[in-house]
Amino acid sequence: MPSIPSLRSETNRYGAGCLMLFALPFAAVGVGAFVWSGWTLLEWRDASGWAEVPAELVAVELEEHTDSEGDTTYETTATYRYELDGKRYTGTRVAIDTGADNIGRFQHRLYSDLRAAQQNRTPVAAYVDPDDPNRAVLNRELRPGLFALKGIFAMVFGGVGFGLLFGARYAAQKMAAEAKLRQRFPNEPWRWKPEWANGRIAASTRTAAYVAIAFAVLWNLISLPAALIVPGEIAAGNYAAAVALLFPLIGIGLAAWAIRAWLQLKRFKTPTLLLQRLPVALGGRLKGTVRVESEVPVAADFGLELECVETRTVRSGKNRRTEESLLWQKQWRVPRHQCQIGSFTTVPVDVAVPAEQPATSMEDGDGTITWRLEVTGACPGPDFWSRFELPVFAAAEAPAPNDMPAAAAARS
């Protein structure tokens, strides 16, 4: 019968494989949208050099297409005749972008102009490819809103797809390394994570900054069509469309958040928590030093917070959401004079850890327990912030007297 670590390793590989399969359609859509938008740009560039000739409109229609969800799209269609070098041709291509859409009022305006020209028997301009006179178009403008939407599809779906692919590969490598550590140290779970193994724990500031940047970029890309289209809609009298401007405004706030996180990362780099004892023992003390490889010019004190958090997944029908419950928390301050502040900065950490709280969870699932240490400091410019996930476990042996909480030491 396979051992538990080997079963977990097989499960991890299966999960990573499923994630890759899940990511492939997103990556494919992203590549397809990129090719689609690139083709549109090439067509627009080519058409800008085509010959302009008068054309006679034979038929003009505005077609409506309604999907199963009730969304309606529109497409202006036309048949027209034109002449080039003494030969007559018939064309049906109306715009650079073919197909139906509901981006702005482009299709309605185009139909209105062409319909008026047909009723008045007025020739319209057709743009003809001199190398292939059978290729012609009536409107050769590049539509910013639609082109932006194609680019957004390419970047969002491609970014999500390839991000998941690289993330699955990284997760598979990390889980493989963890599986080896589990086999090597079956009774010492604090050694299962490579980032805990030597008692030097890196802060999550880099990950937090990258997440903030990625989320802000994604949100603003999705909101970009609204920023491009809504002003024209408002100018045309569609004032209800102004509600959509809420999304770009939220995007501005997210961009500010991402910039702040990036400036914090550039200024303070990635702080490290150096533990005196591994693991941190329930019923003992968390002792160590936070080291920052730059000056942290706090005006007064550093704020520290140690907390134990339980994460659960709440299901309601088909909906799922993740909730955090604070099981225990301790806040305190470390005065500036107790820290070393210069070309690098150190902040001492010494706090009692309660014995009655649960240990850090090493398995994924419902009711995951996480211990976190957060360090903050008010500074001129970007404030200092860092967070560390801690290996807090029941000690195999009783803590030494100087590692025990003062009250417990007094009773012993």
**Predicted pLDDT of residue 334:** 95
Taking 50 as the threshold, does the pLDDT of residue 9 lie above it?
no
Q: What is the pLDDT of residues 312-368, one digit of tens each?
A: 877 776 677 788 899 999 999 999 999 999 899 999 999 999 999 999 988 766 678
Q: Decide which of 8 and 112 is more confident.
A: 112
Mean pLDDT across 307-314: 88
- Token match 């990950």: residue? 207
Q: What's the chain's average pLDDT?
A: 83
The radius of gyration of the chain from alpha carbons, rounded to an integer in Å, stands at 31
**Predicted pLDDT of residue 294:** 92
334 and 389 belong to one structural domain: yes
In 48-138, alpha helices (H): 106-119
pTM to 2 decimal places: 0.61
249 and 323 belong to one structural domain: no
Q: Would you say residue 144 lies in a domain?
A: no
Distance CA 67, CA 55 (A): 34
386 and 323 belong to one structural domain: yes
How are beta strands 340-341 and 345-352 bridged, if at all?
A: antiparallel
- Name the nearest CA neighbour of 203 among 280, 293, 281: 293
What is the number of other CB atoms lying within 10 angstroms of the CB of residue 251? 21
**Predicted pLDDT of residue 159:** 78
Taking 60 as the threshold, does the pLDDT of residue 193 lie above it?
yes
122 and 244 belong to one structural domain: no
Q: Would you say residue 27 lies in a domain?
A: no
Q: Would you say residue 191 lies in a domain?
A: no
Taking 70 as the threshold, does the pLDDT of residue 145 lie above it?
yes
318 and 409 belong to one structural domain: yes
299 and 406 belong to one structural domain: yes
Q: Would you say residue 395 lies in a domain?
A: yes
Look at residues 269, 285, 312 and tell me which one is the last residue of a structural domain. 269
Mean pLDDT across 149-153: 76
Look at residues 108, 139, 170 and tell me which one is the last residue of a structural domain. 139
Indicate the burial class of 355 (C-beta count within 10 angstroms; 0-12, 13-18, 19 or more).
middle
Q: DSSP 3-state assignment of 28?
A: helix
Q: What is the pLDDT of residues 379-410, one digit of tens each?
A: 998 899 999 999 999 875 434 444 444 433 33
CB 373 within 8 A of CB 388: yes
CB 281 within 8 A of CB 352: no
* Phi, psi (degrees; rounded to nearest 5) at 322: -100, 130
Mean pLDDT across 281-305: 93
What is the number of other CB atoms lying within 10 angstroms of the CB of residue 14? 10
256 and 291 belong to one structural domain: no
What is the number of other CB atoms lying within 10 angstroms of the CB of residue 70? 6
Q: What is the pLDDT of residues 22-61, one digit of tens each?
A: 778 877 877 887 888 888 888 999 998 999 999 999 999 9
Q: What residue ranges in 85-226 does DSSP mark as E strands?
A: 87-91, 124-128, 136-137, 200-202
CATH number of the CATH domain containing 340:
2.60.40.640
Distance CA 293, CA 269 (A): 7
Q: Would you say residue 357 lies in a domain?
A: yes
- Report the domain count for the chain: 3
Distance CA 385, CA 205 (A): 8
CB 311 within 8 A of CB 340: no
Taking 50 as the threshold, does the pLDDT of residue 207 lie above it?
yes
H or E element that contains 139: none
Q: Tell me how far apart the terminal alpha carbons of the chain are, to the nearest angstrom.
A: 46
233 and 340 belong to one structural domain: no
Distance CA 391, CA 278 (A): 8
Confidence bin at 248 (pLDDT 50/70/90): confident
Per-residue b or e along 147-183, where b marks 16 or more CB atoms closer than 10 Å to that residue's CB: bbbbbbbbbbbbbbbeebbeebeeebeebeebbebbe
**Predicted pLDDT of residue 135:** 94
**Predicted pLDDT of residue 317:** 67
Least confident stretch, 164-168, 199-203, 389-393: 164-168
Amino acid at 64: E
**Predicted pLDDT of residue 409:** 37
Provide the 8-state DSSP code for 189. Answer: G
Which DSSP string corresponds to 203-252?
Answer: -SHHHHHHHHHHHHHHHHHHHHHHHHHHHHHHHTT-GGGGGGGHHHHHHH
Look at residues 139, 162, 180 and tell me which one is the last residue of a structural domain. 139
289 and 214 belong to one structural domain: no
- Name the nearest CA neighbour of 212 among 263, 170, 164: 263
229 and 326 belong to one structural domain: no
Full residue range of the structural domain in which residue 102 is found: 49-139
* Phi, psi (degrees; rounded to nearest 5) at 64: -110, 140
Token pair for residue 360? 């850090």
Distance CA 213, CA 269 (A): 16
Provide the 8-state DSSP code for 383. Answer: P
Indicate the burial class of 243 (C-beta count within 10 angstroms; 0-12, 13-18, 19 or more).
exposed
Distance CA 228, CA 286 (A): 53
- Name the nearest CA neighbour of 76 among 14, 8, 137: 137
Which positions ≥6 away from 273 have C-beta within 8 Å? Answer: 200, 201, 203, 288, 289, 290, 291, 349, 373, 388, 390
**Predicted pLDDT of residue 323:** 84
